[in-house]
Amino acid sequence: MEVCFHCGDHCDKVLINHQQKTFCCHGCKTVFDILNDNDLTFYYDLEQTPGITPKRFEGKFDFLENEAIANKLLSFNEQDIQVVQFTIPSIHCSSCIWILENLNKLNSAVKTTQVNFPKKTLRITFNSQEINLYNLVQLLCRIGYEPMISLEDSDKKKTAIDRSLIYKLGVAGFAFGNIMFLSFPEYFEVNEFWLERYKHVFRWLMFVFALPVVVYSAQDYFISAFKGLRSKILNIDVPIAIGIAVLFIRSTIEVYMDWGTGFFDSMAGLVFFLLLGKFFQQKTYSFLSFERDYKSYFPIAVTKLSSTKINGHPSIKKEEQTHVNELNKGDRILIRNGELIPVDAILTKGTAYIDYSFVTGEAVPIFKKSGDQIFAGGRQEGSVIELEVINSVKQSYLTQLWSNKVFDSNRQNTFQTLTDKISKHFTITILSIALVTTIFWLFYDPSLALNVFTAVLIVACPCAIALAAPFTLGNLLRIYGRNKLYLKNSEVIEQMAQIDTIVFDKTGTLTTNEKSTISYTGDGLNTKESSLLKATLQASNHPLSRTLYTILKENDICTLDDFEEEIGKGIVGKWEDRKVKIGSHDFVMATSNSSTDVLEKENTSVYISVDDAYRGKFILTNEYRSGIEDVFNALSQDYQLIILSGDNEGEKEYLSRLLPPNTQLLFDQKPEDKLHFIKSLQEENKNVMMVGDGLNDSGALAQSDVGIAISENINVFSPACDGILDAERFKSLVNMMRLSKKGIQIIKYAFIFSLLYNLIGLGFAVTGYLTPIVAAILMPLSSISIVIFVTLTSHYQGNKLL
């Protein structure tokens, strides 16, 4: 078995030898010829077998010849210069970047190209007089980089990038550094003449540097504290805001009254470290989309059929590419093999085999005849069909899945983080200590009472506590991402740690995208029978027939004398004096003279008889991900496990043997059934994680406490969810769940350490001995040590488990 020079595929097909190089197909050879003719073979030096096998794309992008549709994709169009941005899922290495950024060598009409590798996008500037958008896409397809164009691309709205946190962090860091520099002489009580003479100038400079820190950098903490108090909630920002305010006010008074330098350095350091923790926590995977809906998958245009009358007689039907949003009830559309149906419609012409796995999870195509209704989201697997629209895109069944309030991104999040849980008790405790110590000093030494009160609020500011969660969870986000679990935000990790019930979809989640493996049971066929079998399969358009045809070993194929197909039942092929029947159990066994007592009726089996004698059957079974049994056995020790599948019960017995005995199995579940089932579990106070893959799982993913989407390609498929797990890391799910619990343990240990720091600081505060230098040492030391502790510990646990 040889390896293709272009794409690296191992192929047992007839290989093409060209220029002493081996190619698996004509597509790969054509791409090599294009690159070779344009002196671009350096492409192959950058990466070993970097290419992608080009797929068939004839007619797929004809809608781009409609100028109105093409213009919706352009981001700039002025004076013959157009700019467009495409998502290219097949970008995967340095060779891809190099060839795409050298498109101008393949066509001089392309002016510039820019690849964004993390987002897998390509931005192209081209001359519209020399090449149009249709031909540009054709060029990309020919070299194996087919763009993904969907309805979402035409409806996109520009989103503003919020950089305010970076600006606030920069202001706080600049001020912190300068205030510390200006404070050194006062720390060490240097009695140098010029320093002593200008110390008032230095102190007021510290005030100037501190002012924007309080007014600008720390404003979010004051706003959050105010909103919390207004809602009668003592969140962690309340003691932080009190601490910042007291630090600034007391320091300003000390400078104004010429009592000392104050605590401006501690205040600026506090705000800087808090913002640094927030920045670290928010630095997540912006190149992934966690909020995709049907628009991400629907085609942007469809072939619409129209006819006009000439002399009172209907003319030949005219095909035109129409934006799917412009389809209305009564319109006629044409759907080709492999195309997604974007609207609810009635089949008017042709034979349809509709694959609804995209919507329901059911893997077996459904036969539809003329007059049957077809729902949006199905994919035609057969010859060309004609449909009559009965609902527009926005009124179709699949679109209405998003009308559920569970998809409202603004819905209130009721999850309470670990930091929020302790903030109420922490705030009450600190205020109580401050009040009690102030009362004591009012009787013992009234001159120190105010100093002690402010000192307690300063030293007890929960900086270290507030940093523990952001740095721990932020580091875990990075560790998860490195191991191909991409979480929406750090809060998801805390929610994962509280999960007690995990619900799995089956098709595409527990099984691979190669939906099934095929095995044969029965009597062997001789050479003549095998030739007849393959010729009969070749003549059929049924998806199962085509699947069987492609996997059978190479044989000489005969020329059939007769062929019959009973739609939805099976096919019959005749050659010379032999006859083969292929199809369902009832179809094949109706005329068979064999006993059927030992034969099971299975929806995923294809039966064969030769000359009315039963010979055997092909059994199609789902191919499950490797390690699934170990994953479920490990998870069953800590979680209640449930499988919700849109498939039928054909594999219930097999799954029952494969999975732990306490695993609940539910089949024939519609999308809304899955959503309601998750909701019913939550009403029983269960914390539920849903693991799914398809659009049909989106409702359940959104409703669950944590929704994880399994994806073969993280940049192509990601329904509304909290996280995206690369399918190849499915076996790591157990340790990923364990790591979330370890993360919470690390945060709790950090809380204990920060509490010790607070107790030490309170010892100085309540006795009236808190000086600026003590605060300048203790507060940054507590913050830095907590950051180092949680970072190293979480890194160790991540490497240990993953």
Distances (CA, A) of 171 to 164, 201, 211, 214, 779: 11, 21, 11, 10, 20
| 22-26, 76-80, 394-398 — most confident range | 76-80
- Rounding to the nearest 10 degrees, give the CA dihedral for residues 229, 235, 240, 241: -20
pLDDT above 70 as % of the chain: 78
Alpha-carbon distance 794 to 480, whole Å?
11
Which pLDDT does position 411 carry in this prediction?
A: 45
Greater pLDDT, 329 or 466: 329
Please check whether residue 238 is in contact with residue 244, taking contact to mean a CB–CB distance below 8 angstroms. Answer: no
Predicted confidence at residue 600, as pLDDT, reads 44
CA atoms of 249 and 266, how far apart (whole Å): 13
pLDDT at 652: 82
Q: Give me 430's structure tokens.
A: 């600190």
Q: What share of the chain is helix, strand, coil (3-state, %, to 5)?
A: 45, 20, 35
Residue 728 has pLDDT above 50, yes or no: yes
Q: Which of 88-97, 238-247, 721-730 has the lowest mean pLDDT?
A: 88-97
Q: What is the pLDDT of residue 642?
A: 94
Q: Give domain 514-623's CATH superfamily.
A: Calcium-transporting ATPase, cytoplasmic domain N (3.40.1110.10)
pLDDT at 783: 78
Q: How far apart are the first and last CA of the chain?
A: 35
User: What would the DSSP string read from start to end of 641-679?
Assistant: EEEE-SS-GGGHHHHHHHS-TT-EEE-S--HHHHHHHHH
- pTM flag (> 0.85): no
Torsion of CA 438, 442, 447, 449, to 10 degrees: 0
> What is the largest distance, in Å, between two alpha-carbon atoms of the chain?
118
Whether 175 shows a pLDDT value over 90: the answer reads yes
Q: Has residue 271 got a pLDDT over 60? A: yes
Query: Phi/psi class of residue 710: alpha, beta or left (left: φ > 0; alpha: ψ in -120 to 50)?
Result: beta
> Can you give the pLDDT at residue 375?
82
Per-residue pLDDT tens over the stretch 375-434: 887 888 777 889 999 888 776 655 555 445 555 544 445 455 667 777 677 777 877 888
- Of 676, 706, 703, nearest in space to 408 by CA: 703
Place of tokens 């998750």: 678
Q: What is the pLDDT of residues 432-462, one digit of tens each?
A: 888 888 888 888 888 777 777 777 777 766 7
Strands (E), 523-601: 562-566, 570-575, 578-583
* Two structure tokens written together for 412: 């209130």
CA 551 to chain centre: 33
Q: Please report, rounded to a whole number, the percentage of residues in the chain having pLDDT higher than 90.
A: 14
Sequence-separated (6 or more) residues with CB below 8 Å from residue 247: 263, 264, 266, 267, 270, 458, 461
Return the pLDDT at 250: 87
Determine the Cα–Cα distance for residues 486 and 508; give it in Å rounded to an integer.
18
> What are the structure tokens assigned to 599, written together?
């034969």
The two structure tokens encoding residue 125: 């500037």
Torsion of CA 377, 379, 380, 385, to 10 degrees: 30
Phi, psi angle pair for 581, to nearest 5°: -120, 135
pLDDT band at residue 717 using 50, 70 and 90 as cut-offs: very low
Handedness of CA 751, 756, 760, 766 (dihedral sign): positive
Domain residue ranges in the chain: 2-46, 164-283+418-472+742-801, 300-338+343-395, 477-513+625-741, 514-623
CB neighbour list of residue 574: distance below 8 Å, 6 or more residues apart: 560, 561, 562, 563, 580
Higher pLDDT, 563 or 311: 563
The whole-angstrom separation of Cα 127 and Cα 124 is 10
Max mean pLDDT range (78-87, 452-461, 588-597, 725-734): 725-734
Position 205 scores a pLDDT of 92
The closest alpha carbon to 709, from 510, 511, 509, 512, belongs to 509
pLDDT at 716 over 50: no
Q: Which two tokens stand for residue 282?
A: 């928010």
Please give the average per-residue pLDDT across 286-311, as a whole number. Answer: 64
* pLDDT band at residue 281 under the 50/70/90 scheme: low
pLDDT at res. 699: 77
| Rounded Cα–Cα distance for residues 511 and 714 (Å) | 17
pLDDT tens sequence across 142-160: 888 888 887 665 555 554 5
Q: What is the mean pLDDT of residues 119-143?
A: 88
| Confidence class for position 599, pLDDT limits 50, 70, 90 | very low
Could you tell me which CATH class the domain 477-513+625-741 is placed in? alpha beta
Tell me how far apart the alpha carbons of residues 702 and 561 are, in angstroms, rounded to a whole number. Answer: 56
Reported as type and span, the H/E element at residue 486 is strand 485-487
What six digits make up the tokens of 708? 């994880």
3-state secondary structure of 522: strand
Separation CA 100–CA 773 (nearest Å): 58
pLDDT (tens digit, 9 = 90+) per residue, 245-255?
888 998 899 88
d(CA 542, CA 539): 9
- Is 60 exceeded by the pLDDT of residue 315? no
Whose CA is closest to 267, among 308, 222, 211? 211
618 forms beta bridges with 520, 606
- Most confident by average pLDDT, 86-90, 181-185, 205-209, 656-660: 205-209
Q: Return the minimum-mean-pLDDT range out of 65-74, 97-106, 191-200, 686-695.
A: 191-200
Question: What does the pLDDT read at residue 594?
Answer: 55
**The pLDDT value given to residue 295:** 59
Mean pLDDT of the chain: 79
DSSP one-letter string for 315-342? ---EEEEEEGGG--TT-EEEE-TT-B--
Count of all residues that appear for the chain in the document: 802
How high is the pLDDT of residue 316?
54
pLDDT of residue 514: 55
Q: Which segments within 567-624 are labelled E, that is strand?
A: 570-575, 578-583, 605-610, 613-624
What stretch of H or E contains 632? helix 628-635
Query: Which of 173-177, 478-482, 784-788 is modeled with the greatest confidence?
Result: 173-177
Does the structure show a pLDDT above 70 at 581? yes
Residue with more model confidence, 496 or 509:
496
Tokens of 36: 């070779």
CA–CA dist 493, 485 (Å, integer): 11
Q: Are 601 and 629 in contact (CB under 8 A)?
A: no
Query: For the segment 645-658, what is each residue's pLDDT rounded down to a tens digit?
Result: 877 777 788 888 88
Banded pLDDT at 601 (limits 50, 70, 90)? very low
d(CA 207, CA 290): 44
In the chain, the amino acid numbered 490 is S
Residue 153 has which token pair? 């691309």
Structure tokens at 576: 């010379």
The pLDDT confidence band at residue 602, using thresholds 50, 70 and 90, is very low
Which CATH architecture best describes the domain 300-338+343-395? Distorted Sandwich (2.70)
Look at residue 640 in the predicted model and tell me its pLDDT: 94
DSSP output for 29-97: HHHHHHHHHTT-TTHHHHSSS---PPPP-TTTTGGGGSHHHHHHHEEEEETTEEEEEEE-TT--SHHHH
